[in-house]
């Protein structure tokens, strides 16, 4: 059986172009208003680089979280465990030049320049829910391309059953990497069918703009049906493997973080409930939201885990 079985997108699931373009205008208008209200500076009045990028499939029309919140509340342990502190510290990251080393079970291994990867993949926007394992969530309009588009250009072999991603190791600019809060560099992984699923996305921008460093610039993964820690930031290595790769959080606490890390309200974290989530930017008195199975993407991804006991494969 081919490992590259792609989920077929039913034509009924794809929003007609006219409709999404119209929605997009409404969203953009409201975004523009928020941005203008928050930051009436000349820099932000400028045209953003990805304003003309079209909306892709699977993009939801959920209310988008404020840019300020998304950029000032990030888990980036390479800098600090403080979610606000990472905003400033991350600016020290050196992102130019940027290369991605592709290895393992592929026909075209090698070191790829970021510009070459970007040239080969056309950009689209995806408005996705993002659910952190810490029980908070947000909605982010990512700019990027499907992960499968990029992976296919490296021509994985039939022995490629998993994909492993590695974050940059830059201890001179990443103070958190000088302490042992996790085993650096950060690594994550996906089963090949998860990686090839059309929902899996590589982001190089967000909110029509470049990807801020604290949000994973210049290249990050976005897997919306899994807890946020799977969506690895600042990727420098992609390795195709036959066996399941080790992941950073699994190494740190194997009984708490599994390889799959699918959002699942019915399986609590060993130390806290996953039944509800705090919506970022909703304010002091807003209720939490009931967490959805696979973060609301069950209809698209549930089949990937058919027959698996999801309380065991966490």
Kindly tell me which residue out of 253, 266, 299, 311 binds other proteins, with binding defined by CB under 8 A: 253
Q: CB-wise, 30 or 181, nearer to other proteins? A: 181
258 binds other proteins (CB under 8 A): no
Question: CB-based contacts of 255: which residues, under 8 Å, 6+ apart?
Answer: 270
219 three-class SS? coil
97 binds other proteins (CB under 8 A): no
> Following CA atoms 172, 177, 178, 179 in sequence, which dihedral angle do they give, to the nearest 10 degrees?
160
Question: CB-based contacts of 124: which residues, under 8 Å, 6+ apart?
Answer: 53, 54, 55, 56, 143, 144, 145
CB of 277 to other proteins, least distance (A): 11
Site for other proteins in 159-188 (CB under 8 A): 179, 181-182
289 binds other proteins (CB under 8 A): no
Here the tokens at position 200 are 């899996």
Kindly tell me which residue out of 16, 40, 97, 283 binds other proteins, with binding defined by CB under 8 A: 283
Helices within 48-111 (DSSP H only):
67-71, 85-89
37 binds other proteins (CB under 8 A): no
Beta bridge partners of 220: 203
10 three-class SS? coil
281 binds other proteins (CB under 8 A): yes
Distance of CA 308 to the CA centre of its chain: 24
77 binds other proteins (CB under 8 A): yes
CB of 33 to other proteins, least distance (A): 17
Instruction: Return residues touching other proteins (CB under 8 A).
Output: 66, 68-70, 72-73, 77, 81, 84, 134, 136, 138, 179, 181-182, 252-253, 268, 271-273, 275-276, 278, 280-281, 283-285, 287-288
């Amino acid at each position: 059986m081919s490992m590259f079985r792609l989920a077929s997108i039913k034509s009924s699931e794809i929003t007609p172009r006219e409709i999404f373009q119209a929605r997009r205008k409404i969203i953009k208008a409201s975004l523009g208003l928020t941005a203008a209200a928050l930051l009436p500076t000349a820099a932000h009045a400028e045209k953003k680089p990805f304003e003309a990028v079209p909306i892709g499939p699977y993009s939801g029309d959920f209310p988008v979280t404020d840019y300020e919140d998304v950029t000032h509340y990030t888990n980036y342990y390479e800098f600090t465990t403080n979610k606000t502190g990472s905003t400033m510290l991350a600016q020290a990251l050196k992102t130019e030049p940027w290369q991605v080393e592709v290895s393992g079970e592929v026909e075209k291994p090698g070191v790829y320049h970021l510009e070459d990867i970007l040239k080969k993949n056309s950009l689209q926007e995806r408005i996705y829910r993002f659910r952190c394992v810490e029980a908070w969530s947000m909605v982010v309009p990512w700019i990027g391309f499907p992960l499968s588009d990029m992976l296919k250009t490296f021509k994985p072999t039939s022995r490629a059953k998993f994909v492993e991603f590695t974050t940059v190791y830059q201890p001179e600019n990443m103070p958190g990497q000088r302490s042992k809060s996790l085993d650096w560099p950060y690594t994550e992984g996906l089963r090949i069918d998860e990686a090839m699923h059309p929902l899996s996305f590589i982001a190089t921008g967000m909110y029509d703009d470049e990807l801020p460093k604290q949000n994973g610039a210049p290249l990050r993964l976005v897997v919306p049906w899994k807890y946020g820690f799977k969506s690895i930031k600042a990727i420098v290595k992609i390795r195709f493997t036959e066996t399941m790769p080790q992941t950073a959080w699994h190494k740190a606490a194997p009984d708490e973080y599994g390889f799959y890390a699918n959002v699942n309200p019915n399986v609590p974290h060993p130390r806290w409930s996953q039944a509800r989530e705090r919506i970022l930017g909703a304010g002091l008195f807003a209720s939490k939201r009931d967490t959805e199975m696979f973060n609301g993407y069950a209809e698209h991804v549930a089949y990937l885990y058919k027959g698996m006991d999801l309380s065991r494969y966490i």
